[in-house]
Structure 1
Amino acid sequence: MTLKSRRRGAALEDAILEAAWDVLIDNGYPGFTYDAVAARAGTSRPVLSRRWPQRDDLVVAAIAAYRRRHRVDVPDTGSLREDALGLLRALNADRIQMVTVAGVQLMGFFRGAGTSMNDLRASLIGPDEPQPFEVLVARAVARGELPDVPRSAVVVNMPFDLLRHDLIMTMRVIPDEKLVAIVDEAWLPLLTR
């Protein structure tokens, strides 16, 4: 007779956070309970509440774990335009589920916690972590592709902001021609003027 080994440490935490994400997707915030997550993860409620004393702590941890599992690498092709399009395409394909969850399933969380999507984003991204489009622009300046002049964060991060806006407003993947227009018709002209 073989005994099933118990998960511990990182393996258990990974299973819980994946189960928590699935419960959030399936049930939304109102159905996001310790009991539902514990049942999906095959563990007990006390195991969850020891690690995450508040339900909202577990919500944020599940979102952070999803973000880590679906990290989007910043391309480095040697061309600012190609890097920007590659990054937008990757974000477009990968972030739709997260945007949908944040936009629809978390309204109760934001109301109850007195926070917003911006607060959640700030808690997931470290204050010193450079934004992907800031990295792209810095590389382009270092290559001599762009002049080394001051640029506002509004201009530098515009492609991501426009993509996020369209994802939230449509709740679906954005057509590629729109991504090309963001880069070619809006962003690059602003960066080079």
Structure 2
Amino acid sequence: MSSREGCTTRRRGAALETAILEAAWKVLRDQGYAGFTFEAIAARAGTSRPVLYRRWSGRQELLVATLRQLWQSKPIEIPDTGSLRGDALAFLMQADERRARIITLMSVELHEYFRETGSSFRELRAAIREPGQATALEVIVERAVARGEIADVARPARVVNLPFELFRQEVIMTMGAVPPEAIHEIVDEIWLPLLLQG
């Protein structure tokens, strides 16, 4: 029995699926969406294309599953520093460490995916996130309201989530990590003055 056959025999169920998704991420990272084929992923995972087809109908569905697992395997803990500013800064610093590379790859490599599916970055992001889950910044603002740091008034979701939107734009524009001074500028010079108007 070959090592490939032995590997396939030993891994089943969730363990096999995890191995496939990890291999799929490596293929996407190394070869881009153009190289994101069932053949390449099966070879990287040490399995066969029929095994992949039993789980996913095609590479578009597998891509969403791959990014969902990757996103969930690198969670950003919602900070609780005791202050709105501290929480926002700590959250964006974590996002920079854990998500900047993923965001860069998604913005650069997935144009063909969006063309094939007729979808957008926003739709892909919704597909890989837990449905109905509050964003970290929504939780951070709710805590600040509860502490009495800011007024308990209705705020548009765009305003609440503005720091991450600006952070993501910075990642896309620079194709790299966001420097701490830019994160401080987003929080101190743009977001907090906007929130404190309420």
Give the aligned residue type for 2:35.
G
Q: Tell me the distance in 2 between the aligned counterparts of 1:18 and 1:56.
A: 16
Partner of 1:15: 19
Matches within 5 A, 1:138-149: 138-149=142-153
How far did 1:170 drift?
0.7
Structure 2, unmatched stretches of 5+, are: 1-5
Q: Tell me the distance in 2 between the aligned counterparts of 1:52 and 1:192.
A: 47
How far did 1:105 drift?
1.1
Partner of 1:184: 188
Partner of 1:63: 67
Q: Tell me the distance in 1 between the aligned counterparts of 2:173 and 2:110.
A: 16
Matches within 5 A, 1:1-193: 6-193=10-197
| SS of alignment partner, residue 134 of structure 2 | coil
TM-align CA RMSD: 1.1
Q: How many residues align?
A: 191
Contact 2:96/2:177, CA 8 A, preserved across alignment: yes
Give the aligned residue type for 1:173.
A
Q: Tell me the distance in 1 between the aligned counterparts of 2:45 and 2:129.
A: 26
Q: Tell me the distance in 2 between the aligned counterparts of 1:115 and 1:177.
A: 34
Give the aligned residue type for 1:36.
A
Question: TM-score when scaled to structure 1?
Answer: 0.96
How far did 1:126 drift?
3.6
Question: TM-score when scaled to structure 2?
Answer: 0.93
Contact 2:93/2:183, CA 8 A, preserved across alignment: yes
Structure 1, unmatched stretches of 5+, are: none
How far did 1:177 drift?
0.6
How far did 1:184 drift?
0.7
Q: Tell me the distance in 2 between the aligned counterparts of 1:116 and 1:161.
A: 15
How far did 1:125 drift?
2.2
Give the aligned residue type for 1:28.
G
Contact 2:101/2:177, CA 8 A, preserved across alignment: no
Identity over aligned pairs, percent: 53
Give the aligned residue type for 2:13.
G
